């Protein structure tokens, strides 16, 4: 019997994929959502082949109509969403002086508007049921900032504020809202970039107390915990998964 229905955005690769796979193992029916339909479909098929329950859908989380379609696909396939993981993201690096309005707006559209729209789309039924879990994916950069990542850091900081504020509004009605704040995580694309720049890799590792980068599966384990009954007394929190970097 399914533990519930989990909708994970940006689940076609990286941390999102690891979260989808972990929640499927934990017994959730998983809707894999991604802007890339083929990647989403590939993840869903892999989960099903491993014995899990999953389906896929595609759309842009910054687009209100797409979000409505994504949530409808999850509900039609499995039933009301009981766990939402707002993971979809957009990465772009540039010095602040080189950023234009389109760069800034796109970053906030995907991260902040996307989190808002997806949450808005599932929150009503959760409140009616007096039960639900929302986990947002922030970043260590939302706390400490990053060179050439001003717009990204600002967007992730906004997600932290959204998480805490919404938790204050809805936790008494049975809906818990938390966030994870990953540090550098060795997704396939990130690992490739770091391998190509050994000096930067060494400099980054030197700042991390544990002396290593995170793994997507570690981020997924934290989400699985926050989604579980074991975390029933946890809401409005930002779980820092960064090897101790933000402890400084």
- Catalytic sites, residue numbers: 152
Helices (H), the chain: 14-25, 37-49, 64-78, 101-108, 114-129, 141-144, 150-170, 188-195, 198-206, 216-227
Beta bridge partners of 180: 137, 239
- Burial (CB < 10 A; 0-12, 13-18, 19+), residue 145, is middle
Residue 247: CB atoms within 10 Å: 8
Q: How far apart are CA 21 and CA 33, in angstroms?
A: 13
């Amino acid at each position: 019997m399914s533990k519930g229905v989990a909708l994970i955005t940006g689940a076609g690769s990286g941390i999102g994929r690891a979260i989808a796979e972990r929640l499927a193992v934990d017994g959730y029916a998983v809707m894999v959502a991604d802007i890339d339909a083929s990647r989403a479909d590939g993840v869903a098929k892999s989960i099903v082949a491993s014995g899990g329950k999953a389906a896929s859908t595609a759309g842009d989380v910054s687009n209100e109509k797409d979000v409505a379609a994504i949530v409808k696909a999850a509900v039609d396939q499995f039933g009301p969403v009981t766990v939402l993981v707002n993971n979809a993201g957009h990465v772009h690096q540039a010095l602040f002086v080189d950023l234009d309005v389109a760069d800034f707006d796109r970053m906030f559209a995907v991260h902040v508007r996307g989190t808002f729209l997806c949450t808005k789309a599932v929150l009503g039924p959760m409140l009616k049921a007096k039960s639900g879990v929302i986990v947002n994916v922030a970043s260590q950069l939302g706390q400490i900032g990053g060179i050439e990542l001003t717009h990204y850091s600002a967007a992730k900081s906004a997600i932290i504020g959204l998480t805490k504020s919404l938790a204050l509004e809805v936790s008494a009605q049975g809906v818990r809202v938390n966030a994870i704040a990953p540090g550098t995580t060795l997704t396939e694309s990130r690992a490739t970039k770091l391998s190509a720049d050994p000096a930067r890799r060494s400099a980054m590792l030197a700042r991390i107390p544990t002396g290593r980068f995170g793994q997507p599966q570690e981020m997924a384990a934290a989400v699985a915990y926050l989604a579980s009954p074991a975390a029933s007394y946890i809401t409005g929190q930002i779980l820092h998964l960064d090897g101790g970097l933000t402890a400084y």
